[in-house]
Chain A
Amino acid sequence: MSKKDKLKTIEQDKERWIGDMSKLLSETPERLPRFSTVSDLEIKGLYTPEDIKDIDYSRDIGLPGVYPFTRGVQSSMYRGRLWTMRMFSGLGGPEETNQRFHYLLAHGETGLSIAFHYPTLMGYDSDSPMSRGEIGKCGVAIDTLKDMEILFEGIPLDKVTTSMTINPPASILLAMYIVLAEKQGISKNEIGGTIQNDMLKEFIAQKTFMLPPKPSLRIIVDTIEYCTREVPRWNTISISGYHIREAGSTAVQELAFTLADGIAYVEAAIERGLNVDEFAPRLSFFFDAHIDFFEEMAKFRGARRMWAKIMKERFMTKNPRSWTLRFHAQTAGCSLTAQQPYNNVVRTACEALAAVLGGTQSLHTNSLDETYAIPTEEAVTVALRTQQVLAEETGVTNTIDPLAGSYFIEALTSQIEEQAWEYIRKIDEMGGMVAAIERGYPQSEIAESAYKFQKQVDSGEKVIVGVNKYITDHPPITTWRMNPDIEQRQLRRLREVKETRDNQKVREFLHEIRKASQNGENLMPHIIDAVREYTTIQEICDVWRDIFGTYTDPGYF
């Protein structure tokens, strides 16, 4: 029988089945009038070969490690090497966080990930009036290289890779890491890691912004240019959908806006005159692993296929490594509930499984108590163990992309991809992502989706166990509290650093940064010189605020 005839038979069988079903349904109807994903994408009751009849295996799915990478970016995937287990950590001061790093490494974590406190994220020092009440609360306090030295005590930088969730001052933290390595006797060639360095999604979603979009992009391109030449194993940007999703977007919006941000960075770096095949292999991505199991898997698979097409067809790259979308995933913070917090362990496990089946390169699993505070050691251990159980007990790592070929998964992957292309076309028409952000387009699309979802939860259309269904009281859980002495210790250390460093040199290097900011010279070498002399993060950021101005929240709602 030809393929066409086979499809015909399937179609006829299905029509007969639908006929039988409708009789059955008139007696016992389905549970819901409409079945949809958490993003409100409608899902059919049954998928058959008809749903994937336009998919060509070699063209659209292919083999792992081979264009268009739908099945994964490496040819052996988890049979070769497991994903990096990288727990986002930062609490109190560098001493406490160093202790947490050692604890996690001793318990089988395979990569580090730094969560900075808000003043560092926003380019303020601990002694700024803007930092009052915030020191060490939502991450680790880092003001100068001194803090980084304490943070990495006993951790050789050639033995571990580090991800830093840092945006406006990303170049400064990278510079500190480079100098720290230098002090450990390790060259720039040997260190590996990632700075988030994705300012576009800050304007869209995460909202730790400092400078307006254009100078923000300029500093990002400086880091890309510098690392491509000098720090070959460094991922220069982690183009992030996570925060877009957490702010309330749908899966399709997360995918589309993230890839559109990626396009904007590639364009900006090309405009600088950089060779795309030299810098593109070091762009990395970061996605949310949300609660809708199949939707997420399809999103990850679709993301790889789309980026491969963008890089090959739109940017005409030749290097196969430019085509690969490597990503980190984090389970969805916004899916966790304060009610009955132990249920969060189950949510996180399902989300982590979706990320693994979606082929992630690196994973953070949230802890059950994160709707209250920074996780306790006990809670973070359960979260890490969740990854280890998935990796080494469940057998899901035995074969590559096990859900490929599922009528549903392949159809959903294509459907999500098509809808995401639609958004990218719209953003292109607006003149690209920077123009779209200036118009407030992605921001208002996300706010719209967030509000719609909240209404669906409020009406009970979307169920959240323990919140709008199966509500019971739960006894309080123990949460992490910051020792109040940490704040004073941090302020004292900053004061001592400022008193004992060579302030003449600091002034000179700050002046060099000012000059380079104005004349367009690459800032990285000057930042490295400055942080080596213990120049603070805010001292550098204040120069930029002075020259480039600041961005303030337009406050759409």
Chain B
Amino acid sequence: MMGLDRKIRILIAKPGLDGHDRGAKIIARGFRDAGFEVIYTGLHQTPEQIVAAAIQEDVDAIGLSSLAGAHDYLFPRVIELLKEKGAEDIIVFGGGIVPEEDIPALTQCGVRAIFAPGTSIEEAVKWARDNIKPRS
């Protein structure tokens, strides 16, 4: 059933207490319109809840959105939990208010891309098409 023609499944997630969901919702909708299967967690999710949802929904990637400054704890924590659950092949990317100097540390711990404010839907979709493949 897991053939290559399977639709790519992406979980868009809002970790932590941050309530800014405009970007997350736009990207969720943009990905859906581009033909991906999209699950949106809604707001105020702990890293544990996000990883549980990702595994349960059998997604290929998680897109994390943070605009309240807690990305440097929350993003690495999601990756750490994925590793603990043996699901480190789920690709993690993120977006929001992330100062440029924070990006190297996030990429180093395994966040594959950070989309800054001003990213177009098209750019994000293109990146997802090029970088997210269905997990075997």
Tell me the A residues contacting B by CB distance below 8 Å. 118-119, 121-122, 124, 129-134, 137-138, 202, 206-208, 246-248, 334, 337-339, 371-374, 447, 450-451, 454-455, 457-458, 464, 466-468, 476, 479, 482, 552-557
Determine if B99 and A372 form an interchain contact, defined as CB atoms under 8 angstroms apart. Answer: yes
Given contact pairs A137-B69, A451-B26, a sample of 20 additional A-B residue pairs in the complex whose CB atoms are under 8 Å apart: A122-B44, A131-B17, A134-B16, A134-B73, A208-B19, A248-B22, A337-B117, A337-B118, A372-B99, A451-B30, A454-B26, A454-B120, A454-B121, A464-B118, A467-B118, A482-B69, A555-B41, A555-B43, A556-B25, A557-B40
Q: Assuming A118-B68, A372-B97, is B46 touching A130 (CB within 8 A)? A: yes
Determine if B117 and A552 form an interchain contact, defined as CB atoms under 8 angstroms apart. Answer: no
Q: Assuming A373-B99, A555-B40, A557-B29, is B72 touching A458 (CB within 8 A)? A: no
Determine if B70 and A134 form an interchain contact, defined as CB atoms under 8 angstroms apart. Answer: yes
Determine if A557 and B28 form an interchain contact, defined as CB atoms under 8 angstroms apart. Answer: yes
Contacts of B77 in A (CB 8 A): 133
Determine if A138 and B100 form an interchain contact, defined as CB atoms under 8 angstroms apart. Answer: no
Cα distance A121–B44 when bound, in Å?
Answer: 12
B91: min CB distance to chain A, Å: 20
Q: Assuming A122-B17, A371-B117, is B40 touching A476 (CB within 8 A)? A: no
B28: min CB distance to chain A, Å: 4
Q: Which of B16, B25, B116, B118 contacts A450 (CB 8 A)?
A: B25
Determine if B120 and A458 form an interchain contact, defined as CB atoms under 8 angstroms apart. Answer: yes
Contacts of B41 in A (CB 8 A): 555
B74 close to chain A: CB less than 8 A: yes
B134: min CB distance to chain A, Å: 23
Cα distance A451–B20 when bound, in Å?
Answer: 15
- In the assembled complex, 18 residue pairs joining A and B whose CB atoms fall closer than 8 Å, in A order, are A121-B17, A124-B17, A129-B46, A130-B17, A133-B72, A137-B68, A137-B69, A137-B70, A206-B19, A207-B21, A208-B19, A246-B22, A247-B21, A451-B25, A451-B30, A458-B122, A553-B44, A555-B41
Contacts of A247 in B (CB 8 A): 21-22
The 3 closest A-B pairs by CB, nearest first: A133-B73, A555-B42, A207-B19
Determine if B68 and A138 form an interchain contact, defined as CB atoms under 8 angstroms apart. Answer: yes
Contacts of A339 in B (CB 8 A): 118
Cα distance A537–B46 when bound, in Å?
Answer: 21
A393: min CB distance to chain B, Å: 31
Contacts of A337 in B (CB 8 A): 117-118
Total A-B residue contacts, Cβ distance less than 8 Å? 109
Contacts of A118 in B (CB 8 A): 16-18, 68, 70
Interface string of B120-135 (1 = CB under 8 A from A): 1110000000000000
Cα distance A177–B69 when bound, in Å?
Answer: 27
Contacts of B25 in A (CB 8 A): 447, 450-451, 556-557
Beta-carbon contacts under 8 Å, B50-65 to A: none
Cα distance A457–B120 when bound, in Å?
Answer: 8
Q: Count of B residues near A, CB < 8 Å? A: 38
Cα distance A247–B16 when bound, in Å?
Answer: 18
Cα distance A204–B78 when bound, in Å?
Answer: 28
Q: Assuming A133-B72, A450-B25, A458-B120, is B44 touching A138 (CB within 8 A)? A: no
Q: Assuming A133-B77, A137-B69, is B29 touching A451 (CB within 8 A)? A: yes
Determine if B69 and A373 form an interchain contact, defined as CB atoms under 8 angstroms apart. Answer: yes
A464: min CB distance to chain B, Å: 7
Cα distance A129–B72 when bound, in Å?
Answer: 16
Contacts of B84 in A (CB 8 A): none
Beta-carbon contacts under 8 Å, B1-60 to A: 12, 16-22, 24-26, 28-30, 38, 40-44, 46
Chain B minimum-CB-distance residue to A482: B69
Contacts of A476 in B (CB 8 A): 100-101
Contacts of B19 in A (CB 8 A): 202, 206-208
In the complex, which of the residues A124, A132, A466 has the most CB atoms of chain B within 10 Å of its own CB atom?
A: A132
Cα distance A437–B79 when bound, in Å?
Answer: 35
Chain B minimum-CB-distance residue to A480: B99
Chain A minimum-CB-distance residue to B98: A372
Contacts of A555 in B (CB 8 A): 40-43
Contacts of A482 in B (CB 8 A): 69
Contacts of B116 in A (CB 8 A): 338
Chain A minimum-CB-distance residue to B71: A133
B111: min CB distance to chain A, Å: 15
